[in-house]
Amino acid sequence: MEVIIKRDAQEVSLEAAAIFRRQLQEKPDSVLGLATGSTPVALYRRLVAMTQEGDLDLSHATTFNLDEYVGLPGSHPHGYAAFMRQNLFDHVKVARWWIPDGMTNDIPQHCAAYEQAITDAGGIDLQLLGLGSDGHIGFNEPGSSLGSRTRLKTLTMQTVAANAQYFASPAEVPRHVMTMGVGTILEARRCLVLAFGEGKAKAVAAMVEGPVTAMAPASALQMHAVCTLIVDEAAASLLQRKEYYRWIYENKPAWQRA
């Protein structure tokens, strides 16, 4: 796993945007896995700006979102379809985008179809991930199978509380989601994880330097062939080998840099 430590969230997002740019330069019709929540907002703003400046072209790309709340229609202002339109899709053109349908009448069948759509698209080339403070990726809460596929999940009380900021009250936060599984995520050709803030420091340390365990689902990314984690100083504060990670990044050969 490559660990890149940047000064702040803005620098994290700039580094991530450069990785997206290189991916699309090398493969314009890339299949991109996208995330929601507060973590990727600055990155999406940068991708929009790069597109408007002519420095990025998403028009041939296909995207798949990690997850969606069950029971929220695509038009709901707090659903992830609305989030993606507001932060990206209303501002840039993509060839096609996929988000789980929170109003489906057959969740198991819909999840299986979502997996098949990813396969039919050729698999995900670059998967963007945020990191939950309890170590979850997507909505794969602690205890999730590390071989899991897209499926229904019940949110933990901690995640409901964290997501309450987007709703009028905690009572309005849906208790169920559909999410790509850990096994689905691990099949992406490259994973890109972003984390910033002191509140993510324990999760970052567990992901990078702890044991591989279902109690910290992000730790499964230690087994991924090409995973990049970009964090700010606060999120890196508990890493035991952070000076080593800095050394590796500073001495990367030019051809490996985004």
Q: Which of 15, 68, 115, 141 is catalytic?
A: 141
List the end-to-end C-alpha distance of the chain, in Å, as a whole number. 16
What distance in Å separates the CA atoms of residue 68 and residue 74, rounded to the nearest whole number? 9
Is 224 in the active site?
Answer: no
Q: Which of 67, 68, 115, 125 is catalytic?
A: 67
Is 120 in the active site?
Answer: no
Is 91 in the active site?
Answer: no
DSSP 71-101: T--TT-TTSHHHHHIIIIITTS--SEEE---
Could you tell me if 48 and 88 are in contact, meaning their C-beta atoms sit under 8 angstroms apart?
yes
Name the pairing type of β-strands 31-34 and 67-69.
Answer: unpaired
Q: Which of 68, 101, 125, 136 is catalytic?
A: 136
| The pair of three-digit structure tokens given for residue 75, joined into one six-digit string | 């038009």
Instruction: Give the number of residues written for the chain.
Output: 258
Q: What are phi and psi of 151, to 5 degrees?
A: -165, 175
Is 11 in the active site?
Answer: no
Q: Which of 68, 101, 125, 134 is catalytic?
A: 134
Q: Catalytic residues, which ones?
A: 67, 134, 136, 141
